[in-house]
Amino acid sequence: MTQADSATKPGEAETGAGDFHVFDTTLRDGAQMEGLRYSVADKLAVAELLDELGVDYIEGGWPGAIPSDTEFFARAADELNFKHARLVAFGMTRRAASTAAEDPGFKALLDSRAPVLCLVAKSDMRHVEQALKTTPEENLAMIADSVRTGREHDRQVFIDCEHFFDGYRHDPVYAALVVKTALDVGAEAVVLCDTNGGSIPSDITAAFTDLRARLAADLPPERIRLGMHAQNDTGCAVANTVAAVEAGAMHVQGTANGYGERPGNANLFTVIANLETKLGRKVLPDGGLEKLTRVSHAIAEIANMTPDEHAPYTGHAAFAHKAGIHASAIKADPALYNHIEPELVGNDMRILVTEMAGRASVELKGRELGIDLAGDKDALDRITKRVKELESKGWSFEAADASFELLVRDEVEGGLPRPFTLDTYRVIVDHDPNGATVAEATVRVDVEGERVISTAQGNGPVNALDAALRSALAARHPRLAELTLSDFKVRILAGSTGTDAVTRVLISMSDGEAEWTTVGVAPNLIEASWNALADGLAYGLNRR
C-alpha cells in the first residue's frame, strides 16, 4: 500500500490508547547537521531503510519551503511502498491573520500527498510575541485551525510545541493551554520539544508530570497523548527521551545516529534499544531490533558520515573489550561484561588487539579469525610483539582484520602466498595550463617469477596506481576483475606537522561475497595506499 492510501480517518486515532509511536526525523530535523547533504535519491534510500527497521513515522522534510523536499515528496508518492511506516510532511501552523485553507505553506503540505502532517507551533509566550509577533489567542487559533483543516483532508496531524520546556518554566498555564487546544481538536499527539536542548532528565520528568496533572483536569488519561523531541545540547537527549517515556510519553522523536544541528538530535537508535532492552517496551515490529546495527551503518554511508565507532549499541566499538583483565574474564562469562547480548541489536562482541591487552587478546582475536594460537606460545609472543611494534609506528589493526590475519599467518604458517612482489613504481601527476589534471602510474612487479611492467592513467595518483597494479596482475589472475574497492579512508596522524605527517590508509575490498579491510601506513598517501592495496589484493586472491 502506498502512503497515499493509508491516511487515518478522523476519529480512529483516539481509540489508539496503549499505542506507541517511534517517529523518525532524520530527513527533516536531522538534515540540519553541519556538512550533511542528502540528494533526493539519498532521502528515498534512507526512508526505505527506516521502514525496514520498523519505525512508525518518517518525517520526510518540508515540502514547499525546501525545493528538494517538494521533489522528494513527489517522488515518494510514486516510488515508496512502506511496509509499516507512514510518511510525514513537516511544516508550520498557518500564518497569523489568515486561514489554513488559504495559507500557501499549508497548501504545499497537502499537495505533498503525505498522509501525516507534523506542524511546529509556538508554546512559549515570548516566542509568540517576539518571533511570530502575534497574540496568544491568535496563536491558539492558528493551531486549532491548522489541525482541523488537516483532519478535514484526512490527514493525521501532530503538533510540535517548539521551545516547550523553556516556555513551560516561563508560563506553564499558557503552555498547557496550547497542548490542550491541540489535543481537543484532534491532534494525534502533541510533541514537547526541547528546542534549545538545555534540559536535563529531572527537568523533563518534572514538566511531564506537572503537565499531565494539569491536563487531567480536562482530559481523560487516554487522551493525554504526549511526545518528546530532545536535542543534545546538554549531552542528555537520549536520557531525556527515556525519562519522558517513563513519565508517560507515548511518542518519541529522534534521528538516525543522532544526526542534527549543534550537538545533534536524540539518537533514535539508542532510544529504541534502551526502550526495548531496559524498559522492556516492544516498540519495533518482530525482527526489527536486530537490524539496528546494519541500518545505522547503512544510513551513515548514504549520509557520507564516518560511522561513530563509539555509538552505543550499534558502534563498531560498542562491545569491543580491550583491557587484559577483562579479556580473561570475558572468556569465562560474557554476560559479566556485556550489558546486553550484542546480537540483540545485530552487533558483535570484539576483542581488541593492542599493546595493553597482551597475549590473551591476541589469542582471542586469532580465534575470532579461525586461527588457533593457544598451542603455539612462541608464535603468540612473536605476533604480540610485532603488533605492538607496528602500532607504535601508527599501524592500527583494530579496523583492519585482513591485515592482522596476514600478519598472523606470516608468523604461524610462513605466510599466505603473495601474488606479486613489488620492484618499483613511479607515479606522475600533471596539471596542465588549461587546469586539467592527469595522473599516470607505472609499476614493475614480479608475478610468479615473471617481470611485468604496466602503466595506467587515472584521475589521481592512487587511482592510477590501483589501475596499473591490477593491469599488471590481470593476465595471471583474471579473478582480480571481481574484486572491487568498497571504501577508502585516509587519516593523517598528527605526529609532526602539516604535510609530512604520517598517513594511514584503510582500504576495504569486496569480491561480492565477503568484504575485508587492510591498512597501510607511510609518510605519504601514495606509499600508504600502495601498502594497503597490495595486502588487500593478496588477501582477496587467497580467499578461495
Give the nearest distance from C-beta 98 to its own copies in angstroms: 18
**For its own copies, which is the closer residue by CB, 173 or 332?**
332
Position 206 contacts its own copies (CB under 8 A): no
Among 160, 363, 466, 535, binds its own copies (CB under 8 A): 466
Give the nearest distance from C-beta 13 to its own copies in angstroms: 29
Mark the segment that binds its own copies (CB under 8 A) among 70-78, 210-218, 390-398, 448-456. Answer: 390-398
Rounded to a whole number of angstroms, the CA Rg of the chain reads 28
Give the nearest distance from C-beta 262 to its own copies in angstroms: 6
**For its own copies, which is the closer residue by CB, 11 or 498?**
498
Grid cell locating 458? 587515472
Among 111, 129, 210, 233, binds its own copies (CB under 8 A): 233
Among 16, 186, 346, 523, binds its own copies (CB under 8 A): 523
Among 101, 216, 356, 369, binds its own copies (CB under 8 A): 356
Position 167 contacts its own copies (CB under 8 A): no
Angle value at C-alpha 507, between 352 and 503, nearest 5 degrees: 80
At a CB cut-off of 8 Å and minimum separation 6, what does 288 contact?
53, 54
> 219 near 183, Cβ under 8 Å?
yes
**For its own copies, which is the closer residue by CB, 475 or 492?**
492
Grid cell locating 89? 510532511
> 241 near 208, Cβ under 8 Å?
no
Position 338 contacts its own copies (CB under 8 A): yes
Grid cell locating 480? 582480480
**Main-chain phi, psi angles of 194, to 5 degrees:** -90, 70
Position 254 contacts its own copies (CB under 8 A): no
Position 8 contacts its own copies (CB under 8 A): no
**For its own copies, which is the closer residue by CB, 17 or 493?**
493
Position 522 contacts its own copies (CB under 8 A): yes
Position 4 contacts its own copies (CB under 8 A): no
Position 379 contacts its own copies (CB under 8 A): no
Angle value at C-alpha 312, between 311 and 317, nearest 5 degrees: 65
Q: Which residues pair with 194 in a beta bridge?
A: 230
Torsion, Cα 539 540 543 544, to 10 degrees, reads -140
Position 304 contacts its own copies (CB under 8 A): yes
> 325 near 286, Cβ under 8 Å?
no
Among 207, 360, 380, 427, binds its own copies (CB under 8 A): 427
Mark the segment that binds its own copies (CB under 8 A) among 97-105, 110-118, 183-191, 392-400. Answer: 392-400
Position 196 contacts its own copies (CB under 8 A): yes
As a whole number of angstroms, the distance between CA 184 and CA 177 comes to 10
Question: Which residues within the stretch 271-300 sit at the binding site for its own copies (CB under 8 A)?
Answer: 273-274, 278-279
As a whole number of angstroms, the distance between CA 512 and CA 519 comes to 20
As a whole number of angstroms, the distance between CA 361 and CA 32 comes to 41
Burial, 377: exposed, middle or buried (Cβ in 10 Å; 0-12, 13-18, 19+)? exposed
Among 30, 167, 458, 540, binds its own copies (CB under 8 A): 458
As a whole number of angstroms, the distance between CA 401 and CA 417 comes to 18
Position 243 contacts its own copies (CB under 8 A): yes
Give the nearest distance from C-beta 8 to its own copies in angstroms: 29
User: How many residues sit close enough to its own copies to count as binding (CB under 8 A)?
Assistant: 120
Give the contact letters, 118-157, x = binds to its own copies (CB under 8 A), - = no.
--------xx--xx--------------------------
H or E element in which residue 86 lies: strand 86-92
Mark the segment that binds its own copies (CB under 8 A) among 138-146, 267-275, 285-293, 373-381. Answer: 267-275
Grid cell locating 120? 511546529
H or E element in which residue 194 lies: strand 189-194
**For its own copies, which is the closer residue by CB, 261 or 368?**
261
As a whole number of angstroms, the distance between CA 152 and CA 499 comes to 63
At a CB cut-off of 8 Å and minimum separation 6, what does 130 contact?
none
As a whole number of angstroms, the distance between CA 429 and CA 433 comes to 13
> 77 near 63, Cβ under 8 Å?
no
Question: Which residues within the stretch 478-497 sit at the binding site for its own copies (CB under 8 A)?
Answer: 484-495, 497
**For its own copies, which is the closer residue by CB, 51 or 160?**
160
Question: Which residues within the stretch 70-109 sit at the binding site for its own copies (CB under 8 A)?
Answer: none
Question: Which residues within the stretch 28-57 sit at the binding site for its own copies (CB under 8 A)?
Answer: 31-35, 37
Position 343 contacts its own copies (CB under 8 A): no
Give the nearest distance from C-beta 119 to its own copies in angstroms: 14
Position 179 contacts its own copies (CB under 8 A): no
